[in-house]
């Protein structure tokens, strides 16, 4: 995709990330453009509806500049970045678009011809919703329809919970809500081409947890990706597996795991949803957005009534930084997206700017451990990394508030372990308070204790299946 932008849409933040002064927060660009549209005196409405395979339809409305305006070229970038956020936060395969015809044509061409648009179309449309992404110009949007359901919170019996991350597997054995065992095992699933590696790793972790239980009544798990009825639709953990092997061995891998455990109640869901569930369970609150800063970025949302929706909440690919020269995500090819701002990748990216020298071939988990060790020693360079992440987070939470009904945000994941995690959250709170005081009063940020940070998802995952 041609990375163009216009000065009117790029706003330097008042809270500058100490290691990244070029950061241009999405929320500030969005608000600046909206202000410019109001000042034009002739705002043009744009209505968008995203349809999912189960019939759910989500609406979003915005306004753009009249086509005669000197800055009207910015309309495309405004709408394309919003659609990017919607596709990866809500999901869907059909986009109903009520707006200028020329803009619809250009957006359709983006998803057909541009590399990053084709990635979105393939991953969100084809792989997740079994349809090619389709953009439909129309004035008649289908009515909004949403489906929500309770998730988990079942703690009776002897259960195993697991969480599959990009650098480790976490497991927990739970008896009537009490954790009797938890473990973290290092692995490297991303680029392994043999699905047997993944299957064996999962089984190994489950067997170790089972050794601490008198019996196993149910197994619940979380992993990055999209899962429907325990089948893998799309998942970064298996990105190294060739397509033919993915179809033959990966799609039904969790069904194979379930069979290996005598078909006991078994459920695996997106790790972001379990992140939010873990937060809601720990806090005793709803309207929770959970954000896990791990190998990549996971997120999930619990509605004000305590349910989950059919939304994707895949924050690894949502726009965070509107600077057209921002770092590109190596998988999607897009710039300024979440995986480079809230993850081990973000920590590794900031090492040179902080003046911390590490071997080029040092794995990201080891780079994180290095920064955590330096932070524990009071190293100012490490402190600057965590401050930078905190500023990113503060502005991003404000951006999320444009799309979510937020009252609570839970921050967890490996990157938030130790005193550095506390600094991330403190800096995010300060950023919200200084730039968005109304939101700061409305949204409470939460950090779980160390055990919850590292094992909370596995524990919440154990509560997913309902016993018969």
Q: List the helix and strand counts (H, then E) for the chain.
A: 15, 17
Dihedral angle sign, alpha carbons of residues 401, 405, 408, 410: negative
CA distance 225 to 232: 8
Q: How far is CA 354 from CA 112, 290, 307, in A?
A: 40, 28, 41
Q: What is the pLDDT of residue 260?
A: 97
Q: What is the pLDDT of residue 450?
A: 61
Is the CB of residue 180 less than 8 Å from the CB of residue 199?
A: no
Residues 6 or more apart whose Cβ sits within 8 Å of residue 157: 175, 176, 217, 218, 467
Domain-by-domain residue ranges, the chain?
A: 14-146, 158-225+233-267, 274-459
Q: Which 8-state DSSP code applies to residue 464?
A: S
CA distance 49 to 215: 47
Residues 6 or more apart whose Cβ sits within 8 Å of residue 255: 230, 231
Tokens of 363: 């794995």
Is the CB of residue 442 less than 8 Å from the CB of residue 289?
A: no
Q: Which residues of the chain have pLDDT under 50?
A: 1-5
Residue given tokens 């016993």 in the structure block: 467
Q: How far is CA 135 from CA 1, 58, 132, in A?
A: 18, 14, 10
Rg (the chain; Cα; Å): 22
DSSP strand pairing (408-412 vs 444-446): parallel
Q: Assign domain 274-459 to its CATH architecture.
A: 2-Layer Sandwich (3.30)
CA distance 464 to 154: 6
Straight-line distance from the first to the last Cα atom of the chain, in angstroms, rounded to the nearest whole number: 50
What CATH number labels 158-225+233-267?
3.30.420.40
Nearest C-alpha neighbor of 37 from the set 7, 75, 5: 75
Residues 6 or more apart whose Cβ sits within 8 Å of residue 86: 48, 50, 58, 60, 92, 403
CA distance 437 to 93: 37
Per residue in 150-169, pLDDT tens?
888 998 999 999 999 888 89
CA distance 116 to 318: 12
Q: What is the pLDDT of residue 4?
A: 47
Q: How far is CA 451 from CA 184, 212, 292, 322, in A?
A: 11, 18, 14, 35
Q: What is the pTM of this model?
A: 0.87
């Amino acid at each position: 995709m041609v990375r163009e932008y216009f000065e009117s849409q790029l706003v330097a933040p008042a809270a500058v990330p100490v290691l990244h002064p070029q950061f241009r927060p999405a929320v500030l660009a969005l608000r600046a453009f909206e202000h410019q549209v109001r000042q034009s005196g002739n705002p043009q409405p744009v209505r968008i509806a995203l349809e999912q395979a189960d019939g759910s339809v989500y609406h979003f409305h915005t306004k753009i500049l009249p086509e005669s305006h000197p800055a009207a070229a910015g309309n495309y970038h405004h709408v394309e970045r919003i659609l990017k956020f919607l596709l990866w936060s809500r999901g869907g395969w059909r986009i109903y678009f009520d707006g200028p015809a020329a803009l619809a044509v250009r957006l359709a061409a983006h998803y057909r011809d541009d590399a990053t648009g084709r990635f979105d179309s393939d991953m969100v449309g084809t792989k997740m919703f079994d349809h090619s992404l389709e953009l439909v110009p129309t004035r008649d949007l289908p009515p909004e329809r949403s489906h929500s359901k309770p998730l988990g919170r079942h703690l009776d019996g002897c259960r195993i919970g697991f969480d599959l991350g990009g650098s480790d597997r976490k497991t927990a054995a739970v008896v009537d809500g009490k954790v009797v065992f938890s473990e973290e095992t290092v692995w490297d699933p991303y680029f392994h081409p043999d699905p047997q590696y993944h299957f064996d790793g999962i089984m190994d972790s489950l067997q170790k947890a089972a050794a601490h239980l008198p019996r196993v009544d149910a197994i619940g798990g979380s992993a990055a990706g999209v899962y429907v009825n325990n089948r893998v639709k799309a998942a970064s953990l298996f990105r190294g597996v060739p397509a033919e092997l993915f179809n033959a061995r990966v799609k039904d891998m969790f069904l194979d795991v379930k069979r290996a455990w005598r078909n006991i109640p078994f459920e695996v869901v997106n790790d972001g949803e379990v992140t939010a569930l873990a937060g809601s369970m720990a806090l005793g609150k709803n309207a929770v957005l959970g954000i896990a800063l791990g190998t990549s970025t996971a997120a999930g949302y619990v509605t004000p009534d305590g349910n989950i929706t059919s939304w994707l909440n895949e924050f690894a690919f949502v726009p965070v930084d509107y600077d057209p020269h921002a770092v590109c995500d190596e998988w999607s090819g897009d710039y300024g997206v979440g995986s480079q701002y809230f993850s081990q990748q973000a920590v590794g990216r900031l090492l040179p700017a902080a003046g911390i020298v590490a071997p080029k071939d040092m794995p990201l988990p080891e780079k994180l451990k290095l920064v955590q060790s330096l932070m524990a020693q009071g190293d100012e360079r490490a402190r600057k990394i965590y401050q930078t992440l905190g500023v990113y987070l503060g502005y991003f939470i404000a951006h999320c508030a444009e799309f979510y009904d937020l009252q609570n945000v839970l921050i967890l994941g490996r990157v938030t372990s130790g005193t550095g995690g506390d600094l991330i959250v403190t800096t995010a709170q300060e950023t919200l308070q200084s730039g968005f005081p109304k939101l700061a009063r409305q949204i409470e940020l939460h950090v779980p204790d160390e055990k919850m940070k590292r094992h909370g998802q596995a524990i919440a995952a154990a509560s997913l299946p309902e016993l018969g």
